Structure formats: structure tokens, C-alpha cells
Amino acid sequence: MPADLVSSLWSRLLDIELNIVKKNDKLAERLLKKPFDCQTSTLYSQMAEGANSTQTAARYYHSIVKYIEDKEASEGLRRILCFIEDLSSGEVEVKNVEKARQFRESGNRFFRSGKLSRSSELYRQALLHAPHAFPLFHNHASPPMDSTEAALLHGNLSAVFARQQSWTACLWESIIATELHLIANRPGICSLVRRLWSRITQCCDHIGLSYPKVTLPELHHVVTIRQAFLQLSTASDVGAPTYELPEPRYGFQEAILRCVLSFQYPGLSCGLLVTESKQKGRYVVATEEFQPGDVLAVEPASGWPASGPRTTVSASGDCLLLLPSQRMSKCTACLNPLSAIGYLCPNCCDTAYCAPPSKCFFRHLTKSDEVVSFSQPPWHTAECRFMFLLNSTGLGHLCFRLAWLRRKNHRQMSSRQLTIDQLVSHFDEFEVEDLFQYAVTAWLLAKLLSRSFCDQDTMTELIDGLWCFDTLRRLQCNAHAITDVQETFQLEMEDETYHALPRLGQVRVATALFPCVSMLNHACEPSVSNSFENQFIILRCTKPIHLSDEVYNCYGPHYLHDTSNSSRRAQLQKQYFFNCSCQHCANPRCAHVLKPTTAVQKQWDAALSRMMRVTETNSPTLPELQNTWSQACQIGTLSCPFCDGHWWPQGESPGSLWDTAGQRCITAALTTLDPHISNRLKLLGVQCFAKSVDWVSKHFGDHSSEYLWELLNFFRTAVEVLDQWPSGILETHALSIPTSLEGVRKTIFSLACLLYGQRNAKEIEGRFL
């Protein structure tokens, strides 16, 4: 779901409310002025104890609750309770046939142009909005519902899988589509059913499943095949319920030092120690030697339970939030990529699950009195009706999930074990306007939580709200973006006529909090890399770490991506209240700050246009591109008396210029009708990508993740568009790329092992090599 499809309702309400308070002197004096009143009371003490908070935070949060409930707040904010009531009633219909139809038609255009992955994504997105999309687990004797759009979508999705020869996914979607058509029994469906039945029999032949030899099936024929397919799928290992995690070098800290340490940080290596100072707060140092590739930490979202770390685990999406843009692509329960859809929530547009033969699918099937139903996670039931509102709260949605799990599970942690509650909440550092908005959001979340628990009283609601108020601040400073490797497009907006090859890149797919990993401080040149396996974060060493060295992560700003130490420090101070003193901030290569003039900016725009115009001619050459690239780089580098110059264009780099030129050459090659011009443009595009790889290798290093993905993109493009591997080009230009295809493949695999471990490296090899 694109960002523009997520409601901004709550953020707009917050902005309006804040402006109202600012304009009222009495309210502003009471709610928006530091230092806050430090008055204590039994009420604040009870709230603070229940939420593991402070009386100061409790007093401020309570003042916001009083402001709202004493009717000083705007009518718009107070009426949100009526909206919650309407959502809770279940009478607000969120499914939308018209929206589903629009996504389907868009998917059809991509399907006709041969872009199967994109079309399947759009069909899945459409199914999220289509009503009555899964009558599979309902009683077929009940009155038929209008599932026309859903039936068409399942059928179209099955056509994609037939084209891709993904026979199990095709069979499942064909079965669902056929059942929907036959249950509805609409006039004129015979041709559709006949086509789907042909697809079903083709799939059955491929997977060895018997089927009735009829020309036009009846409902019981399809149900029989579905039951046989499910029976066959139960023996599959796809989406196995458990998988193996790596163990940190020197073992898990919690397991080994249970009786030694005064405080436990389960998941960190036993070769790490969390210490504390007044200047740095808590931070991590090495008590053993680590080498590149060593695992330093393994931790699930929200931390390990009281039972402690283990290496055999189950995939679970409980404690993390899948981003709206990923909910048509990943299973809500296990986070694995979706192809066919096993089930869709009938009451919201944000939840899809794996299809058989995945074990995840079968874990959610329940049977009672011969009726089979699909059981969704209980936390989804709590948030389902309010999904529209929760999506608009941003991190508030994850906060709601964590608060609900905290209330529901009452998960007991060791008194010596780090929990979310014990992360620094930075109450004193936040701007008062931010505190106000977080407190109002926490009030909303507490109101939503009260809908899930029948034993809710006023004190419990206040404690829930205070816990959310603190956790929202912790999330801003500690939440991790969980990433996955996905295809992205780097030129103009993609449509069905877009011919450039998609590029691979790290895409943010979810957000979570990892308490122990949050103990690592930031450095603009970190000593670890982060990788993710479902809900787990894994830290690996990227350069030698010696005894007593501090171990650093990177919170975002990296000295090779943003060369200005003042810019990096400003970003870190704004979000994390952190003054970076790493070597690249304390002793930068050059502290001189230069800004381009308007004239230089115009020269840059003109240089870019010249370089792009070269790619639009019928006979561009590498020397021509090299010349215009060099001119652009000269303009993009401001001369400095103290160093060799400052690169100033944000969002661009010398490497990305080559990358863009390569994309344009490949696009032109795929659209031209002249085969000679096409071949020449393809070769030139690959040469441009090779230049980009070379620049990335020299700038970021040949052990960097940037080099890995750039090399992998080069490999995929060269294999896709050229008839033979371009060894001659690589040898002639002496680039930072192995000259043989097998050499590139081995380099990619070994670098992926170093950065992400052997399991992820094998997955990358299987998906992309």
C-alpha cells in the first residue's frame, strides 16, 4: 500500500489540537511550558509503579487526560470517541469493490505487458479490498454473497502463476476462484469456470493429484480436489514451524552468565559487556576478540522471554509491525513472502496469510463440529476494526500492539533481565510540543485498548496510557527498521510500458524494538552490520574488534553517505538526543562547510541534462558518457582550500550517475525496434553499471553491503540482457569486478556470507543468482 493510501487523520488532528493549545495562553502555560510541576501524589505514584515510569511523566500524562476529558480539548478530538464506537460496532464497511476493481485493471495492464511479479502484487492488493474473498471456510449452504470481484481476482492471480509455472500456487488460487463462481451461480459463468477447470486439471497433472474427468465441474468436484490438495500439503516442509538461528560467538550471555552478571542482556554474546558512564549512558564493550563475520547478538523483536535465548525458533509477527506497503506481499503471521493467498481478514484491508502447502497456513486452521475455520492471531482481532485509525498513528500502531501483548500475556521477565520498560524514555530531552502529541496519542491508544479487555477500570486505563506515552518516546529513539531485499525502480514512475530492469535494494518492510541491541551506541563508521531473519535481528562483526573496544552500530548517518559531520550530528541530536563523538565527527576529514551558489546548481542541472541526452541518441558511446560524467563530477565537487573538495548534490553520487545512465540505456535498448542499436545500447548499459560498481567499490570498500548489492545488480543485468558474459570489457577497463561470471558469483556469495550469514547468503543465491 503506497504511503499516500494511509490515512493522515490522526496526524492532522494532532496538528490542529497543538495549534489550539498554543493560541490559548492559559492552556499553553499549563501544558506546553517547561519545567513541569513536580508535584507528587498517590495517584501519580500508582500510575508510575504500574507503568514502570516516573511520577513526573505520570503527572504530565494525567494533565493531558484531564484536558481532554474535562472538555477543554477541541470537539474534533473529543468526537474521536464516537468514531471509535462506530468502528468497534463493525458497521463501518472498509472493503471496497470499486477500489479492488481499479487495482485489478492496473494488474491486468501489467500482466499483458509481461510484468508478472508486478501484476501479482496488484492482484493481491486488490484482494485485500475485495469483499467476501474467502468463503472457503464458510458454510456453502448459506446464501451466496457478492464475491464477483474476488472470484475474478483469484482467477487472474492463478493465471500469473500458470505463466510462471508455479503449480501449487496456481492450483490453490484456481480452486478458490472456481468455488466462488460456483457458489454464486451467476448467469454466464460457464466459460470462466471451464477455463479455471482446465487450469486446475493442468496443475493436478503437474503435482500428481487425481481429479474427476468432467468437462464442466460442479461444486463438489472442486471441494474434493481442495480437500485432497490440503491433505497432500500437510506432508510438505514448506514454511516449517521452526528454523535454526546462529549462536553468537562465545555463546549467549544469558545462558552462560545467569549467575554471574548483576543484570542480564539475553541475546548478546558472552564476549560483550554492557557498561555505563555519566557521559555515554549504557554502552557495549568487547571482553573478547571478534573477527569479521562473527555473530555478536541474536535477539527477537521485543527481546527474549524469561525462558531465555535458543537457536531453534518459530517465525512470528507478534511483536513487530509490518508496514502498510508490505501487507500485500508478506504473511501477517510469519512474515514470509506471499505468492498465493491462504486467507484474508474479512474485516480489514491489511491482513493476508500464507497459502498451502505452507505450515503457517495449517497452524491457523481449526476444526469444530466438522466445520473448518481459519483462526487469526488474537492481537489482530484486537486491532482489526481500528486498523484505519491505527495506520494513521505511525509508530502508535506498534505501540498499541506491544501494549496489548503486555496486558494479554503478562509475560514474566526476570527482575535482572532488560525489558522495553527499562530503555531510556528521554522525557526531559523531548520538546514539549512532541510530549503533548505523544501524550494525546497515548490517550487514544489507551481508549482503543479498553475495547479489548472487559476488566478495564480507570486506573488500568491510566496505566496503559502512561506506558504507551513512555513507549512512544522509546520507539522514536530505539525502533529498528527491518529490511528485506526487494526489487526497486530508480527512474521515472513505473507503469505497464516501463521496460527498464528493476534493481535490487534493501527495502524497509517492518518496524520493531530490540532492547538488548539498543544498548549499542552509534558511530558514523560502525563495527557491526544488521541483518534480519523474520522477527530476529542478527549483529555481525564487520571489522576486527579487540579487547576493551567499544562496539558500535549505525543509527542512520554514515560518514561515507553524508560527509558533513555537522549534518550528521544535527540528525543524531534531533532524533536521538545524541552528540556523536566518533572519530569522523570529532576529527573530520574537513570541517569546512561549503554550499553551492544558484549558478552552480544551474550548472549541475545542465550537466545532468547533457549526460542524459547522450543516452537518448541512437549511437551513444562510452567515451561520450565518460566525458559528460567527468564534467558533472567537477561541478558536483566544490573546491576547498583545506581538502580535495566537497561533493554537494544530495541524493546523487558519481556512482548513481553511472547507474542512471545504465538504466536509460537498457530502457532504450528494450524499446527500440532496431536489433543492432538494441545490442549496442545493452552493452553500453552494462558498461555503465560496471562503472557504477567500480565507483562503489572504491568509495565504500569491497567488503561493504553497498558493493554487494551493486555487484549483484550488475550480475543480474549482464546475464539478463547480454548473450554472453562481458569478460573482455571487464579485463580491458581493469574494474573492481571479477572478470568471469563464476568469479562474480563466488564474490557475491562470500560477501553475503560475511555480512548476513550462510543461510541468508544461500537464500540470496537461490533467489537472484
pLDDT above 50 for 756: yes
Average pLDDT across the chain, whole number: 90
CB 320 within 8 A of CB 510: yes
Cβ atoms of 103 and 129 within 8 Å: the answer is yes
Q: What pLDDT was estimated at residue 235?
A: 74
| pLDDT score at 145 | 66
What band does 241 get if pLDDT is binned at 50, 70 and 90? low
C-alpha cell at 198: 482446465
Q: Which of 595, 722, 600 is nearest to 670 (CA)?
A: 722
The confidence score (pLDDT) of residue 259 equals 45
Who has greater pLDDT, 488 or 531? 531
Q: How confident is the model at residue 77 (pLDDT cuts 50, 70, 90)?
A: very high
What confidence tier does 141 reach under pLDDT thresholds 50, 70, 90?
A: very low
Q: How would residue 489 be classed by pLDDT, with cut points 50, 70 and 90?
A: low
Report the pLDDT averaged over residues 387-398: 96
pLDDT of residue 3: 42
**Count of Cβ atoms closer than 10 Å to residue 689 Cβ:** 28
Q: Quote the percentage of the chain above a pLDDT of 70.
A: 93
The tens digit of pLDDT for each residue in 304-334 reads: 887 888 888 887 889 999 999 999 999 999 9
Number of H-type helices and E-type strands within the chain: 28, 18
Residues in contact with 659: Cβ distance below 8 Å, sequence separation at least 6, in sequence order? 490, 503, 688, 689, 692, 710
Q: Beta strands 295-300 and 536-541: pairing type?
A: antiparallel
Out of 475-479, 501-505, 532-536, least confident range: 501-505
- Tell me how far apart the alpha carbons of residues 217 and 201 are, in angstroms, rounded to a whole number: 11
Beta-carbon contacts of 126 under 8 Å, excluding residues fewer than 6 positions away, are: 99, 100, 101, 102, 103, 104, 107, 149, 153
Q: What is the reported pLDDT for 492?
A: 44
Distances (CA, A) of 104 to 100, 125, 146, 314, 632: 6, 9, 17, 34, 43
Rg (CA), the chain: 28
Question: pLDDT at position 732, please?
Answer: 79
Angstrom distance (rounded) from CA 77 to CA 228: 53
State phi, psi for 367 to the nearest 5 degrees.
-130, 130
Query: Is the pLDDT reported for residue 238 higher than 80?
Result: no
Query: What's the grid cell of residue 536?
Result: 530476529
Which of 189-193, 217-221, 307-311 comes out lowest in average pLDDT?
A: 307-311
List pLDDT tens digits, range 440-473: 999 999 999 999 887 678 999 999 999 999 999 9
Does position 280 have pLDDT exceeding 60, yes or no? yes
Q: Is 125 helix (H, G, I), strand (E, B) or coil?
A: helix
pLDDT band with cut points at 50, 70 and 90 for residue 4: very low
Pairing status of strand 503-513 against strand 479-488: antiparallel
Biggest alpha carbon–alpha carbon distance for the chain: 84
Q: Which three cell numbers stand for residue 421?
A: 520498560
Please name the amino acid found at residue 250: Y
In this predicted structure, the answer to whether residue 236 has a pLDDT above a threshold of 80 is: no
pLDDT, tens only, 566-590: 999 999 999 999 899 999 999 998 8
> For the chain, what percentages of helix, strand and coil (3-state, to nearest 5) are there?
50, 10, 35
pLDDT at 144: 53
Of 171-175, 533-537, 580-584, 765-769, the range with the highest mean pLDDT is 171-175
How many Å apart are CA 360 and CA 374, to the nearest integer? 11
pLDDT at 410 exceeding the cut of 90 = no
Instruction: List pLDDT tens digits, range 683-737.
Output: 999 999 999 999 999 999 999 999 999 999 999 999 999 999 999 888 877 788 9
CA distances from 612 to 85, 321, 667, 723 (A): 55, 40, 12, 26
d(CA 122, CA 118): 6
Distance spanning both ends of the chain, measured CA to CA: 29
pLDDT, mean of residues 517-542: 95
Q: Mean per-residue pLDDT for 266-294?
A: 94
What's residue 646's pLDDT? Answer: 87
Mean pLDDT for 11-33 is 95
Nearest Cα to Cα of residue 517 among 537, 542, 545, 541: 537
- Residues constituting the chain: 769
How is residue 650 annotated by DSSP? T
What backbone torsions phi and psi does residue 338 show, to the nearest 5 degrees?
-95, 140
pLDDT at residue 76 above 50? yes
Question: Are 554 and 565 spatial neighbours (Cβ–Cβ below 8 Å)?
Answer: no
Q: Categorize the per-residue pLDDT at 263 as very low, low, confident or very high, splitting at 50, 70 and 90.
A: low
SS3 track for 673-722: CCHHHHHHHHHHHHHHHHHHHHHHHHHHCCCCHHHHHHHHHHHHHHHHHC
pLDDT at position 257 is 46
Write out the E strands in 453-527.
479-488, 503-513, 521-522
d(Cα 115, Cα 122) in Å, to the nearest integer?
11
Mean pLDDT to the nearest integer, 201-217: 95
Q: Where are the beta strands (DSSP E) in 303-417?
A: 312-313, 321-322, 341-344, 352-354, 365-368, 371-374
Find which of 1-15, 247-261, 264-278, 287-301 is predicted with most confidence, using mean pLDDT.
287-301
pLDDT for 70 equals 92
Instruction: Tell whether the torsion through CA atoms of 322, 327, 332 and 337 is positive or negative.
Output: negative
418 or 196, which is more confident? 196
Closest CA to 298 of 550, 536, 542: 536
Residue 673 grid coordinates? 525496434
pLDDT of residue 493: 46
Q: At 276, which helix (H) or strand (E)?
A: strand 272-277
Read off the C-alpha cell for 430. 523531548
Q: What is the pLDDT of residue 619?
A: 82
Q: What is the pLDDT of residue 593?
A: 78
Q: How confident is the model at residue 258 (pLDDT cuts 50, 70, 90)?
A: very low
Q: Are 582 and 280 in contact (CB under 8 A)?
A: no
Residue 274 in this model has a pLDDT that exceeds 80? yes
CA dihedral 65→69→74→80, nearest 10 degrees, is 90
Q: Residue 463 has what pLDDT? A: 96
pLDDT at 768: 82
Least confident of 113-122, 175-184, 492-501, 759-768: 492-501
Query: Whose CA is closest to 127, among 412, 329, 365?
Result: 329
**Can you tell me whether residue 459 is helix, strand or coil?**
helix
Separation in Å, CA 698 to CA 527, 604, 706, 760: 19, 23, 11, 25
Structure confidence by residue, pLDDT tens digits, 658-697: 999 999 999 889 888 899 999 999 999 999 999 999 999 9
Alpha-carbon span 186 to 46, nearest angstrom: 62
